[in-house]
Structure 1
Amino acid sequence: MLKWFVPLSVVFFAGSLVGDLTHLPPVFSFFLTGIAIIPVAGWMGQATETLAIYAGPRVGGLLSATFGNAVELIIGIIALREGLQTLVKASITGSILGNLLFVLGISFLIGGIRHPIQRFNVKAARSQSAMLWLSVGVTFVLPAAFAASAKTDPSVGKVVSFVAAVVALVLYLSGLLFSLYTHRYLFETVHDAGEGHEQPPLSLWVAVVSLVITTVMVAFESEWLVGAVKVVGHRLGWSDVFMGVIVIAIVGNAAEHASAVWMAWKNKMELSTEIAVGSTLQVAMFVAPVLLLVSYAIGQPMSLLFSWPELMSMGAAVLLVVVLMLDGESNWLEGALALGAYFVMAVGFFMLKGLT
C-alpha cells in the first residue's frame, strides 16, 4: 500500500496544477492539492515512526519537526525579503497555536477514543512545559511589556527582542544538549507492559531518504495549497491575520499534523507529543529567533513585538497545555478542552478584521 502513496500524491497534485493553468475555480485546486498531501502524510508518518524505533521518539519527533519547520523557515526568509514582517509574525503565532491546541488536541482526542488512558514520560513533559513557559514568556511577552512601558523610545522593544531572540536560541540548543546527551536517560520511552521489540516498517536509510523526499513534496504542495487558500479566503472576506494565524497554519502543516495524530491513534504518545510540542518549541525558540537575526542581515529588521490578542492567545495555550501534560497522561476529554480553546481563539481572530 505504501508504494502507492507518492504516485497518488503526484497524480492529485498534477490535477491541481492543470486546474490552475486552465483557470478552473480555486476551490478545485485547493481540493485536489489537499488530497495530494494526505498520501504524502502517510508516507512521512511511516518514515518518522521508523526513525523513532531506531533512535527513540525524541530524535524521531525532532527530525520530523525539523524537516517541517525548515520549509517554514525558508518561506519566512522569502517573506522577510519582501518586507512582510506582519505576515511572518502571524505565521509564527499560527504555528504555535496550531501545534499546541489544534494538533495536540486532536491527538489527545483521537488517541483517547481508542485508548482510554494514554501515557507519556512525565519527566520529559515537565521539561517541555518549562521550555514552553520560557519560549512565550521570555521570547514574546517580555519584549512587548518593556516596549509598552517605554512608548517614547521605540528602540527599547527592538533591543529587548534582539537579546531575547539570542537567549532563546542559546537555550533551545542547550535543551537539545540536555535531552539528547547529558540527561538522555530522563527521556526514555514509556513502554507498555509486555511490549516486545517492534519491527521497523522501513529500513533506516529508506526512512531518511523518504523523509527528505516527502518534505520536499510537502513544501511544494503546501505552498500551492496556501496560494489556493488565499484566493478562496479573500473571496470569502477573511482577514490576512485570520488567514495567517488560523487557516494557513493548519493547511500549510497538514502533513506534519497528520503524523502526530496517526502516532496518537497507534498509542505512541511520546512520539505524538514530541512532534506537536517539539515543533512548537522549535518555532518559538529557533525559527523565530533565526528569522529575526536574518531580518537584520538582509536589511529588513523585524521585532518580536506581537499584538496583545496574539500574546494572550499564546499565553493561554501554553498555560492549558502545561496543565494537561504535567501528569504524564492524556484522554479524549483533555483533547476536547484544547480544541475548544482553539475554536474560541479562531473566532476571535476572525472577528478582528483590522488587526495589524
Structure 2
Amino acid sequence: MVIGGIKHQEQRFNSRSAGVGSALLFISVGGVFAPTLFSKAYGKMICGECITVGQNFSESYICQNCQSQMMGSNSTAFYSEVQPLVYTVCILLLAAYIIGLIFTLKTHSHIYDIHISDCHVPGHHHSAVVHWSRWRAMVILVGSTLLMSACADLATEHITPILTETSVSQYFIGVTVLAMIPELPEIINGIQFALLNNLSLSIEIGSCIAVQVCMLQIPILVLFSVFYPTGFTLIFSDLHLWASMFSVILMNYIFMDGKCDYFQGTVLLFVYFILLATYFFAPSPAGC
C-alpha cells in the first residue's frame, strides 16, 4: 500500500473480495485462539496463605499472593478438556477453509472478476496475454515452493547461534526471520501488483497468507502432532492474542471503503513496527 500509494495517488480495490478475506481472518483468529481463551477462563487460581473470614455457611477467604495459572500441557485438565477443543477447532477451521474455497472458486467466483482496464493507470491500455501454459506454471510454482521451504529450513537450523549467543527475544526472531523468509515471494508479488495498480490482488495475497496458515497449516500441524508429538498445544501468550486481534480489526477498518493511499499503508506499517518493538523487548518464553 505504501509503495503503490506513492506511485498512484489513490488506489481502489474490490471491497467484496476483500470482505471475504476479512471474514475468513476473523474466523481464523477466533478458532486459533479459542483454546487459549478457554485455558485462561478455566485455569487455576494459586494463592499463598489464606485466612478464613465468617462463620457457618457464609465463610469466605482472604488470600495473599494469588496468581492465575493456565491449563498446562502436562495437566489432566488439558488432555480431558483443552485437547478435545483443539481437535474440534482444527476440524472446523478446515471445514471453513473448504467452504471458502467453494465460495470463491465456484459459486461466487464472479465477485473476483476485475476488468484489466481498472487495474492499471488510466490512459495506459494493456491486454491480458497468457505467457505460460498451465503445466509450466504448476512446475514453477511447485519448484519455487520447495526452494522456499529449503530456505526456511536452513534459516531455522542456523538461527540457534543467534538465540544462544545474544539476548534477542525468541518472540522477535519468530515474527521477523522465521515469519518473513518463507513469505518473501508473496511479499514481492504483492508489491509488484500494487505498483501495477492491481491492489485487489495484492491484498488477496496478503490476507490469504494468514488464512492459509490458520486454516490449513495449523490443523495439519496439530494432526501431525497426534502421531509424532511436537509439543504444539495451540495455546499462545497474551501478546500473540492481542497483537493478532488488534491487527485484524485495524486492517478491516481501513479496508471498509474500498480505497486506500500511502497514508493508510503507513499507518499499518507503523502499527507493525510498534508490534515488532513490543516483541523485541518481550522476554523469551520459559522452557525454550
Q: So what's the TM-score if we normalise by structure 2?
A: 0.78
Tell me, yes or no, if structure 1 residue 116 matches structure 2 residue 9.
Answer: yes
Contact 1:225-1:252 within 8 A present in 2 as well: no
Contact 2:8-2:197 within 8 A present in 1 as well: yes
Which of 304, 315, 338 does residue 245 from structure 2 map onto? Answer: 315
**Structure 1 or 2: more helix by fraction:** 1
What's the offset of the Cα at 1:128? 1.2
What's the offset of the Cα at 1:157? 2.4
Contact 1:165-1:285 within 8 A present in 2 as well: yes
Aligned residue number for residue 262 of structure 1: 192
Give the letter aligned to residue 32 of structure 2: F
RMSD of aligned alpha carbons: 2.1
Q: For the residues of structure 1 that align with 2:275 and 2:81, how far apart are their CA atoms?
A: 29
For structure 1, the residue ranges without an aligned partner over 5 or more in a row are 1-107
Tell me, yes or no, if structure 1 residue 167 matches structure 2 residue 86.
Answer: no
User: Identity across aligned pairs (percent)?
Assistant: 27
Tell me, yes or no, if structure 1 residue 151 matches structure 2 residue 43.
Answer: yes
Q: For the residues of structure 2 that align with 1:222 and 1:300, how far apart are their CA atoms?
A: 18
Tell me, yes or no, if structure 1 residue 141 matches structure 2 residue 141.
Answer: no
Aligned residue number for residue 277 of structure 2: 347
Q: For the residues of structure 1 that align with 2:161 and 2:184, how far apart are their CA atoms?
A: 19
Aligned residue number for residue 37 of structure 1: none
Alignment of 1:186-201 (within 5 A): 186-193=111-118, 195-201=125-131
What's the offset of the Cα at 1:331? 1.3
Aligned residue number for residue 172 of structure 2: 242
What's the offset of the Cα at 1:213? 2.1
For structure 2, the residue ranges without an aligned partner over 5 or more in a row are 45-76
Which of 201, 204, 216 does residue 286 from structure 1 map onto? Answer: 216
1:106-139 Cα distance to aligned partner (Å, 9 max, x none): xx111111111122211111111111111102x1
Aligned residue number for residue 83 of structure 1: none
Q: So what's the TM-score if we normalise by structure 1?
A: 0.64
**Structure 1 or 2: more strand by fraction:** 2
Give the letter aligned to residue 175 of structure 1: G
Tell me, yes or no, if structure 1 residue 184 matches structure 2 residue 132.
Answer: no
State the 4+ residue runs in structure 1 displaced beyond 6 angstroms: none
CA change 1:302–1:275 in 2 (3 A) is: same
Aligned residue number for residue 328 of structure 1: 258
CA change 1:252–1:227 in 2 (3 A) is: farther
What's the offset of the Cα at 1:346? 0.9
Q: For the residues of structure 2 that align with 1:229 and 1:149, how far apart are their CA atoms?
A: 35
Q: For the residues of structure 2 that align with 1:258 and 1:275, how far apart are their CA atoms?
A: 10
Which of 244, 252, 260 does residue 182 from structure 2 map onto? Answer: 252
Aligned residue number for residue 125 of structure 1: 18
Contact 2:243-2:275 within 8 A present in 1 as well: yes
